[in-house]
Structure 1
Amino acid sequence: MSQPEPGNQPQWGSQPQWGGQPPSDNQPQWGSPPQWGNQPYPGQAWGAPVDPRWQAAGLPPYGQPRYIAPPKPGIVPLRPLLFGEIMDGAFQTIRRNAKTMFSSALIVQIISTGLSGVASIGFLTMAKVPAGGFTSQAEAMSFFGPVIGMMAGVMAISLLSAVLSAILQGVLAIPVTRSALNRRTGFKQMWSLARSRILPLVGYGLLLLAGYLAIVVIVVLLGAIILASLGPVGLVLAIPLGLVAVAACVWIYTKLMVAPAAITVEELGVFAGIQRSWGLTTGSWWRIFGIVLLVTFMVGVIGSVVQMPISMATGGITAVVSPHASTQQLTTTTIVLTVVSLIVSALVGAVGFAFQTSVAALIYMDLRMRRDGLDLELLRLLETGEDPDGIPGRHAVRQANFRPWPPASGQGYPHG
């Protein structure tokens, strides 16, 4: 069989021209690495011009996407948030808007704590148990009358505190959302932005209280019927019934966690805000519950540590200052120590409430980033500087299931 002549080998493909290698004296010098940016893109031949579509996409060689960290102009990065970022963002919000948030929370705490203190002091001064016990029905009524009145007063104060807390939770969402774009919020500015949302927040608080009271009344009536019908054996049914009621209240509270923020930021009504919170928290209940439980535990532990020395010192101060004091002197000392304890409690409670409210507002923002693409709206506001004195996200268009999180298998987001 005849072989091909030398120099007439068949062309197996477009092999590179090895004869075109640069001479040895033109090799790159040490310390000057080759420019990898000049390597071909997918489908591009060596030496061919770069496809402008790949250049416009900002892709490096071989089509691998270049990672670009999401911007963080304020307290949190503009993307769905992690647990640590929510905690850090809450601390930063309070630090950047300390006067606005702490003063507002302190006002509510002073009102609630002050009313509780008045009720406690009134009980101490009016309810006096005779040394020899009750000798008549009139003496018994003189003791139990203030007790019943104090219990009613405490319940009324608790209801008022719950309504005030719902209002403040919605109002304090304003500096949190503004801090996401590094916009500080003054005390007057915050309440001016929230002025039109006060009535819906009051309605939400009253409706929430009515729902909880309805649950309590139903459980108490059912428990009384069970105990009256079955006697002590009815405790086997009454105790689980109470636990179910507690679980139901916790579940409802978690589902409605972001309703005040939605009412304020998105200018929704009472029922629309409840529906909005219900929809946002769907599929994220356990995550929200875990965050709220951990934050509540942290705030409770810190508050107990701060107030424990005062509680322990109460008995010691009474024994040192008035070791053989009369009943009147003992009552006066107890009142003074109660006032001091209430002041410390109000200060600690204000800080704790501001932190918990910031966490709730950041959870709301995180849910909207995952479901509505709020981060894209915040990026637009960051680039354009639009509405610098307003509430970010107030006029954003909500799109149902805009971008569920986490993404489906095989799908990713540039800043996720």
Structure 2
Amino acid sequence: MSQPEHGRNPPPNGQPAGENRPNGGNQPQWGNQPQWGNQPQWGGPPGWAAPQSGGQNQNYPGQPAPGWPPGAPYGQPLYVAPPKPGVIPLRPLQFGEILDGSFQTIRRNAASMFGSALIVQAIGAVFIGIVTLGMFQLSMSLESVSSEAEFADAMGPLLAFVAGTLGVSVLIGFLGSVLQGVLVVPVSRSVLNRRTGFKQMWKLAGPGILPLLGVAALLTLGGLLAAAAVIGIAILLFTAMGPGALLFVLPLGLGSVVVFVWIGLKLMLAPAAIVVEGTGVYDGLLRSWNLTKNNWWRIFGITLVVAIMVGIIAQIVQIPVSLASAAIGGVVAPHPDPDSMTSTLVLTTVISTAIGALVGSVTFAFQASVSSLIYMDLRMRRDGLDVELMRLMETGSDPDGIPGGPSTVTRNSVWPPNGGPYPSVPPGQQPQA
């Protein structure tokens, strides 16, 4: 008996014709089963119909054409690349993106970043030039020393110049720590493609100047005290043990350097946190310590590579400067005497310090930009800052503020504006407002 066609009513007695089975129904014969392409589906027509004759697919009314359904397979959301409104994409960053974003930030905000760094480097260059000329005059006076009394008298000015050199280094480090926090303003604004002028940068960083000074003073004082403690311990060991103290002093010195680098990187982001998030001194240090948790080696690698790059560039620039200084000395003073040597030294010192200040301002601005982008990257990884930046990008709110600071968008505000699409979200999936 053949299988009844699909859609026909059964016989009047309610039972299909044919041999009775234990399960109460008849089975269709083997050769009369429907073909694979024509098997009916529950609740609707077949979804995979066999192609009809003539090369034309005849579809049921209201049904899509055979083949893959539109959109992503199996209902998976489509991938949409994160937006990049400014110098970096709004997602956790890679090393190359940090370097590229730093270069672009300096290029777009040259007046604010390069100008501020040049001021600090010029101040340091003036003090370094004064110390260099003083050391030269002192060395010339030491050549005429003929007795121990005269040598003892000359040691006072020598120690004073050494202390002056150390003081200049400390001053440059102190100002650099403050300027690092100020330069985070144009970097964070460049993430949303907002340019920052010189005056605007200092105005936005103004509320955080006092905490920046406090953090810079605390870090500088802590470094000096730690160095003094290590030097004092080394002197005591040499006094008590003699040359054999080297066995203890060398491990002590290496261990101190490791601890200093570790703590320095852990607290490196405190200036950025103070300016962007508006925290105090203690909260800024604690914020930096928490942000760098489980990311120390990555930060160390990026900082080390950038420092090597900057050092190589500075040395390449200083080579022609040294050659030019030697050539100038040979032209100005072919037959050296004390007066001509002094004038030549003044001229070459001015030239070298000026070029050094220019190179130092560029390298410092680049290093500060890298540090600021590391801060933004860690906040996107830990705090979801990229979502807040997308919100600011869509709403356009607070155009003159610092992105990443205390949120200026309330939870009741409409986002996206005017009912527009959500960035980097597949259709049909909308984030919580």
User: 1:110 aligns to what?
Assistant: 122
Question: CA–CA distance in 1 between the matches of 2:238 and 2:148?
Answer: 29
TM-superposed CA distance for 1:62, in Å, is 1.7
Matched, 1:293 2:304: yes
Among 2, 6, 14, the residue aligned to 1:5: 2
Matched, 1:230 2:245: no
Give the 5 Å matches for 1:195-210.
Answer: 195-210=206-221
Q: What is the CA deviation profile of residues 71-108 of structure 1, one whole-angstrom value per residue up to 9, with x for unaligned ones?
A: 00000000000000000000000010011110000000
Among 53, 72, 75, the residue aligned to 1:60: 72
Unaligned runs of 5+ in 2: 6-26, 58-63, 409-423, 427-433
Q: What is the CA deviation profile of residues 114-166 of structure 1, one whole-angstrom value per residue up to 9, with x for unaligned ones?
A: 111112112223442455x5223453245323321111111221221111101
Matched, 1:168 2:179: yes
Which stretch shifts more, 161-170 or 309-318?
Answer: 309-318
Question: CA–CA distance in 1 between the matches of 2:261 and 2:377?
Answer: 21
CA distance 1:27–1:127, shift in 2 (3 Å): same
User: 2:322 aligns to what?
Assistant: 311
Matched, 1:268 2:265: no
CA distance 1:274–1:7, shift in 2 (3 Å): same
Decide whether the 8 Å contact of 1:37 with 1:61 is kept in 2.
no
Among 13, 35, 53, the residue aligned to 1:24: 53
Question: How many correspondences in the alignment?
Answer: 375
Question: CA–CA distance in 1 between the matches of 2:252 and 2:155?
Answer: 30
Matched, 1:349 2:338: no
Q: TM-score, normalised by structure 2?
A: 0.81
Give the 5 Å matches for 1:148-187.
Answer: 148-187=159-198
Among 83, 86, 89, the residue aligned to 2:95: 83
User: 2:334 aligns to what?
Assistant: 323
CA-atom RMSD in angstroms: 2.7
CA distance 1:238–1:23, shift in 2 (3 Å): closer
Give the 5 Å matches for 1:354-365.
Answer: 354-365=365-376
Question: CA–CA distance in 2 between the matches of 1:380 and 1:352?
Answer: 33
The residue type paired with residue 2 of structure 2 is: E
SS state at 1:128 partner: helix
User: 1:402 aligns to what?
Assistant: none
SS state at 2:140 partner: coil
Q: What is the CA deviation profile of residues 49-88 of structure 1, one whole-angstrom value per residue up to 9, with x for unaligned ones?
A: xxxxxxxxxx623223211000000000000000000000
Matched, 1:371 2:382: yes
The residue type paired with residue 190 of structure 2 is: S
CA distance 1:20–1:314, shift in 2 (3 Å): closer
Among 186, 201, 204, the residue aligned to 1:193: 204
Decide whether the 8 Å contact of 1:120 with 1:150 is kept in 2.
no
The residue type paired with residue 393 of structure 2 is: L
The residue type paired with residue 61 of structure 1 is: P
User: 2:392 aligns to what?
Assistant: 381
Q: What is the CA deviation profile of residues 188-245 of structure 1, one whole-angstrom value per residue up to 9, with x for unaligned ones?
A: 0000001111111011011001111111111111111111111101111101101111
User: 2:104 aligns to what?
Assistant: 92
CA distance 1:18–1:218, shift in 2 (3 Å): closer
TM-superposed CA distance for 1:308, in Å, is 1.2
Which stretch shifts more, 189-198 or 8-17?
Answer: 8-17
CA distance 1:350–1:286, shift in 2 (3 Å): same
The residue type paired with residue 289 of structure 2 is: W
Question: CA–CA distance in 2 between the matches of 1:264 and 1:363?
Answer: 15
The residue type paired with residue 276 of structure 2 is: V
Give the 5 Å matches for 1:329-344.
Answer: 329-344=340-355
TM-superposed CA distance for 1:37, in Å, is 10
TM-superposed CA distance for 1:20, in Å, is 7.6
Matched, 1:218 2:215: no
Decide whether the 8 Å contact of 2:142 with 2:154 is kept in 1.
no
Larger radius of gyration: 2
TM-superposed CA distance for 1:26, in Å, is 6.5
CA distance 1:230–1:26, shift in 2 (3 Å): same
Question: CA–CA distance in 1 between the matches of 2:391 and 2:359?
Answer: 38
Question: CA–CA distance in 2 between the matches of 1:327 and 1:20?
Answer: 103
CA distance 1:6–1:120, shift in 2 (3 Å): closer
TM-superposed CA distance for 1:326, in Å, is 1.4
Question: CA–CA distance in 2 between the matches of 1:145 and 1:331?
Answer: 22
The residue type paired with residue 353 of structure 2 is: L
Question: Identity of counterpart residues, as a percentage?
Answer: 51
Q: What is the CA deviation profile of residues 360-410 of structure 1, one whole-angstrom value per residue up to 9, with x for unaligned ones?
A: 00000000000000000000000000000000011149xxxxxxxxxxxxx
The residue type paired with residue 40 of structure 2 is: S
The residue type paired with residue 229 of structure 2 is: I
Question: CA–CA distance in 1 between the matches of 2:203 and 2:357?
Answer: 25
Q: TM-score, normalised by structure 1?
A: 0.84
- Runs of 4 or more off by more than 4 Å in structure 1? 6-9, 15-23, 35-41
Among 291, 308, 317, the residue aligned to 1:280: 291
The residue type paired with residue 14 of structure 1 is: P
